[in-house]
Structure 1
Amino acid sequence: MSNFDQETQQRIQQWTSNEYDPETIAEVKKLVDQNEETELLDSFYKELEFGTGGLRGIMGVGSNRMNKYTIGKATQGLANYLKKQFPDQQLKVAVSYDSRNNSQSFGHLVADVFSANDFQVYLFQELRPTPMLSFAVRHFGCQGGVMLTASHNPKEYNGYKAYWNDGGQLVAPHDKNVIKEVDAIQSVSEIKFERKAENIKLVEADFDDIYVAANLKLSINPGAVKAQKDLKIVYSPIHGTGVTIVPKMLEAWGFNNIHVVEEQAEPNGNFPTVVYPNPEEEEAMSIAMKKGEELDADVIMATDPDADRVGVAIKLPSGEYQLINGNQIGSLLTYYVLSCKKAAGALKPNDYIVKTIVTSNLFSDIAKSFDVNYYETLTGFKFIGEVMTQLEGKEKYLVGGEESYGFLVGDLVRDKDAVNACAFIAEMCAYFKNEGKSLFDVLLSLYVEYGYYKEKLISLTKKGKAGADEIKQMMSDLRADLPKSLGGIDVAEVRDYQQSEATDMKTGSKTKIDLPKSDVLQFITVDGDVISARPSGTEPKIKFYCSVKETLSFTSDYGQISNRLDDKVTQMMADIVKD
């Protein structure tokens, strides 16, 4: 411990004081006695902070871990802030949780603290998805909400997503202000843990019907669904909350041939059939893919534990199935929504879509072709939700998404919604099948019309304090020595979102970026390729995104150009990703 800085030592000493329960004290003392320096440092070197997805960390003892005290402190801080922001009001919050280990007990703990602070708490009786929590905040007129989930992180993690009264996750200035309130709590004695049962109202299963009915009103082509009601759908909840509502949503939509992957149907925080419960990972989709192949499915879908992300596999002309990435799913949804609304004469001048800065420009190309406004935000769906709130009553949100498998059609919630997306992906599949087209056919037609976009994501995992320091150094090194070319292609512009400025590499002239500051670097080549470097806000990772584009004149050239773009991506990434 003598190697630790003073603040870390003070935190460790504080956690062995009689403010904490005997089990916690014993666990900390055990780490000290066994000289577990790395674990101690990672557990106590800082306080857990709100990132793009709220509070998220490994479960265990310590100020940098998810446990009774960090969750209690966060909840008390959030409660204190809400009291200041909404004085003289009956304060209400909604609380839900996913299938992770401890999520239910953490959810009840959060409800207890809010109830002890005299909030009216709407606590979900059983696990339900994140988007339903966002919907509940708006439905019940709450000032805030909390979802206990670590989304798609590994099983040792849990998390705490905090929501504002618009149903969106906390954004500036509220995110930082809540942290100040949390930091102002100096003693565990300031946290009100004593439950006031009369302040807690359970949200029961009939709330599902309200959520489903509201979504059903958004359906664009119920006739196509009716014609293709036996569309063969394979769905996996990957041991998460999706099983409670996705099949129900699809059935309400009119689909009657839904096959839930049995091996992954039961909610289980150990996620026994996967390494990572993340539909972005091919391995996590493998069981659903196998079932889809056996059944000759029309579409295969899987959602992450809190059902805000969805992965999709589609059938190729060869009969094989292929996973498509988040950029492709989102582009298909954007095209489907805009083209169908235009055909129905329902597109309005104030309609718009939203994407993030690391999401494919195919989204915005499609929007421009339909004369629909588009907005770009920082990474994290909370920023898309923020745009929706800012423009509410002025412009009409239609569809939005991000490359990390998060999508939303319609404005019922202010977060990504895989339940809503599953229904629209199935409807889209039915609509195009009715026209004699597969989703692969439609994707190729988009590439012919707008250009063949190809993307790749490389994530480097760097755990603990040492990893966080390494990621910080990697970004510092990149800024100190900006690459002038990538894969032999000159860099035309560098966008530094931390400095809020874009630099023309040829002239040196700088222009302002009108977005909040964020630790992101973007390199745009003379060919229009985009490479982004960004430390994750929710995982111990640094992520590198690459998007390249080439004209596709004939669908018969797809394979050849695909290989050429793969080579280009590999060469460009090799110049920037240094592990």
Structure 2
Amino acid sequence: MSTIDLATQSRVDRWLSEEYDAETVAAVKQLIDTNQETELVDSFYKALEFGTGGLRGIMGVGSNRINKYTIGQATQGLANYLKKQFPNQALKVAVSYDSRNNSQKLGHLVADVFSANDIEVYLFEELRPTPMLSFAVRHFGCQSGVMLTASHNPKEYNGYKAYWNDGGQLVAPHDKNVIEEVNAIQSVRDIQFERKAENVHLVKEDFDQIYIDQNKALSINPDIVAAQKDLKIVFSPIHGTGITLVPKLLKAWGFENVTVVDEQAEPNGNFPTVVYPNPEEEEAMSIAMKKGQELDSDIVMATDPDADRVGLAVKNLDGKIQLLNGNQIGSLLAYYVLSAREEKGELKSNDYVVKTIVTTNLISDIAESFSVKTHETLTGFKFIGEIMTKLEGQEKYLVGGEESYGFLVGDLVRDKDAVNSCAFIAEMAAYFKSRGKSLFEVLTELYTTYGFYKEKLISLTKKGKAGAEEIQQMMADLRANLPISLGGIEVKEVRDYQASITTKPADGSTSPINLPKSDVLQFITVDGDVISARPSGTEPKIKFYCSVKTPLIDISGYEKTSSDLENKVTKIMADIVKD
């Protein structure tokens, strides 16, 4: 007996109509004829929605899949919205794409739809990183931009990141308003697919140099880079767009000893050497780390397919290549940028750094020690970009990041930028090497100065409609049964970002949270531990974050303190993560 609800069945029936091409109709019929009901429901039970990273999903037929019709509808909706927001203006958009299967084809389709709507399109001739798209929006004076990518998701995914005229991803109210425009399209016939060639301008390779030159101008210590030009660097683009720009920028910066991991150098949407093309995963970094160990490298870096996230491995105290997490990388970058600028007398009273609510407070501690303000945002770099745009001309953005390996130094773009980050990580390593220190040694010094922070992330994957409902229920259950202690430690504060209220369980007092609403619960213990729960906006996952801290008196106590904190994290997570 079929369990498909009427709304889902209605969408299926629509996709079987003559509005859709024969290939699409045949694919839908195959799902029906082979009784793939779960796949049919997951493909049609809803329309794809903009989350923290835009439109993202599995490639295939259906309203909840990435295909030419969902991408076409999103683009038509965005085009309609742009015409309403910028009446009587000549509209311009930039379009780029990564190495994923179908990204180039979908990128050209997006250009077709925009051009058919009499919008000028700056279409990258070849695949380029996401930060280049953000840069292009600002450089060409576009009202919008689109990047075809699913970032670090598995190979069956693709996606659509939409940008506004500031070069940042869509935020309120534009994200919701675009969705309304997309949903208002009742027929495929409302989508204009026929390209007007005169409206499409190809962005060629020489544009790279503009981005490279402006990034190079951000260098804080070019003289030290020159002295440390032989710094041993291993880099992997993990079959993605990083290969097009990271080696170029490192060379322009002055680094001459860069080894690219051959096995992962070629762009390939099947990502043949990794399970997930995600530098957060040690497995994805393993080939590069092995190469780094063989070459006795100072640093090992790898970027995700669209080169907006970067992973970093460095020599630990035993000389072995060890992966750092995103909190550690962000803390090191913040410390380097602030200390180097202070050393040169370049810190100003209106300087600031940014981090997200689930990113380590070590960054805030570092900033405070330099008398630099920290702004905190919801999860998603689009919110960091939003702050940068809002404060432009009033305060000066220096550096920001999030624990999910997204960082940006300087304000050339309005999104996380792994190309920019690779250059600054290399400069940072050169700077501290010139002072006889490895990055790992600097990290341990941060821990002795500010306290030893230990963080952990647990992600539970829940696919399809049933998974989405399970994630919703997990958050509802957590709200209905708020823990009074975690790992045996009393909870002193509960922050519910959906209700925009902070509650102190001890006396029931409340205070408002001055951030946009978001489905996040955060628990602060009497020890200052921070534990967060949130559904992912870009993946079928629910994520649990834990950050604990204790003093580290001396480096000799590093291993024991690290082990003690790990045990504490394990106990806390056991109380909140229920699968």
Superposition TM-score tier, normalisation by shorter sequence: over 0.9
Q: Deviations over 1:455-489 (max 9, x none)?
A: 00000000000000000000000000000000000
Q: Which amino acid aligns with 1:69?
A: Y
Q: Paired residue for 1:418?
A: 418
1:147 aligns with 2:147: yes
1:463 alignment partner in structure 2: 463
1:102 aligns with 2:81: no
Cα distance in structure 2, aligned partners of 1:285 and 1:171: 32
- The aligned residue for residue 36 of structure 1 is 36
- In the TM superposition, 1:78-157 aligns within 5 A as 78-157=78-157
Question: What residue identity is the alignment partner of 1:16?
Answer: L
- How far the C-alpha of 1:101 sits from its partner, in A, is 0.2
* Count of matched residue positions in the alignment of Structure 1 and Structure 2: 579
Name the counterpart of 2:514: 514
Residue identity in the other structure for 1:452: F
Structure 2 counterpart of 1:340: 340
Letter in 2 for 1:384: I
CA displacement 1:328-378 (0-9 Å, x = unmatched):
000000000000111111000000000000000001001111000110000
- Please state how far the C-alpha of 1:252 moved relative to its aligned partner: 0.2
Deviations 1:140-195 (A, max 9, x none): 00000000000000000000000000000000000000000000000000000000
Deviations 1:195-248 (A, max 9, x none): 001100000000000000000000000011000001110000000000000000
Q: Secondary structure at the match of 1:499?
A: coil
User: Which residue pairs with 2:474 in the alignment?
Assistant: 474
- The residue number in structure 2 matching 1:372 is 372
**Following TM superposition, by how much is the alpha carbon of 1:35 offset from its aligned partner in structure 2, in angstroms?**
1.6
SS of the equivalent of 1:271 reads coil
**Alignment partners' CA distance in 1, 2:319 and 2:472:** 45
- 2:499 equivalent in structure 1: 499
Q: Which amino acid aligns with 2:245?
A: I
- Aligned position for 1:182: 182
- 2:279 maps to which residue? 279
Amino acid at match of 1:126: E
Amino acid at match of 1:122: Y
Match in the other structure for 1:218: 218
Amino acid at match of 2:536: S
Partner of 1:47: 47
Counterpart CA distance in 2 for 1:434 and 1:368 is: 26
- Please state whether the residue corresponding to 1:99 is helix, strand or coil: coil
Q: Secondary structure at the match of 1:245?
A: helix
> How far did 1:441 drift?
1.1
Deviation string for 1:76-118 (max 9, x for gaps)? 0000000100011110000000000000000000000000001
Tell me the equivalent position of 2:71: 71
Q: Give the Cα–Cα distance (whole angstroms) in 1 for the partners of residues 340 and 31 of structure 2.
A: 60
User: How far apart, in 2, do the equivalents of 1:193 and 1:22 lie?
Assistant: 17
Q: Give the structure 1 partner of residue 246 of structure 2.
A: 246
Alpha-carbon distance between aligned partners in 1 of 2:373 and 2:231, rounded to the nearest angstrom: 33
Matches within 5 A, 1:324-363: 324-363=324-363
In the alignment, what sits opposite 2:568? 568
SS at match of 2:220: coil
Partner of 1:445: 445
Residue type matched to 1:426 in 2?
A
Q: Any gaps of 5 or more consecutive residues in structure 2?
A: none
Equivalent position SS for 1:224? helix
Supply the distance in 2 between the matched residues of 1:83 and 1:316 (Cα, whole angstroms).
54
Cα distance per residue 1:475-509 (max 9 Å; x no partner):
00000000000000000000000000000010111
Whole-Å Cα distance in 2 between the matches of residues 427 and 240 of structure 1?
Answer: 23
Q: Deviations over 1:508-563 (max 9, x none)?
A: 11110000000000000000000000000000000000000000011111111000
Moved over 4 A (4+): none
User: Distance in 2 between the 1:470 and 1:2 partners?
Assistant: 21
Q: How does 1:255-404 map to 2 (within 5 A)?
A: 255-404=255-404
SS in 2 for 1:575: helix
CA distance in 2, matches of 1:381, 1:316: 29
Tell me, in whole angstroms, the C-alpha distance in 1 between the residues paired with 2:317 and 2:145.
46
Shift of 1:317: 2.8
Please give the alpha-carbon distance, in whole angstroms, between the structure 2 residues aligned to 1:538 and 1:247: 29
**Structure 2 CA distance for aligned equivalents of residues 413 and 130 of structure 1:** 10
Q: Does 1:16 align with 2:16?
A: yes
Letter aligned with residue 326 of structure 1 = G
Look up the SS of the partner of 1:193 in the other structure. coil
User: How much does 1:318 deviate?
Assistant: 1.5
TM-score (norm 1): 1.00
Give the AA of the match of 1:292. Answer: G
Residue 230 of structure 2 corresponds to which residue in structure 1? 230
User: How big is the shift at 1:34?
Assistant: 1.6
Q: Unpaired runs of 5+ in structure 1?
A: none
Aligned to 1:406: 406
* In 2, Cα distance between equivalents of 1:111 and 1:15: 24
> Residues of 2 paired with 1:408 and 1:396: CA distance?
13
Distance in 1 (CA, whole Å) between partners of 2:83 and 2:213 is 33
Structure-2 residue corresponding to 1:540 = 540
2:165 maps to 1:165: yes
Secondary structure of 2:576's partner? coil
Instruction: Map 1:425-440; keep pairs closer than 5 Å.
Output: 425-440=425-440
Structure 1 counterpart of 2:5, one-letter code: D
Could you tell me which amino acid in structure 1 is paired with residue 251 of structure 2?
A: E
Q: Give me the whole-angstrom Cα distance separating, in 2, the residues matched to 1:253 and 1:500.
A: 44
Distance 1:79 1:53 in 2: 19
CA RMSD of aligned residues (A): 0.6
Tell me the distance in 2 between the aligned counterparts of 1:417 and 1:236: 15
Identity of aligned residues (%): 78
Write the distance in 2 (CA, Å) between the matches of 1:316 and 1:372.
Answer: 29
Secondary structure, aligned partner of 1:527:
coil
Shift of 1:3: 1.9
Q: CA deviation at 1:2?
A: 4.0
Mapped partners of 2:328, 2:36: distance in 1: 45
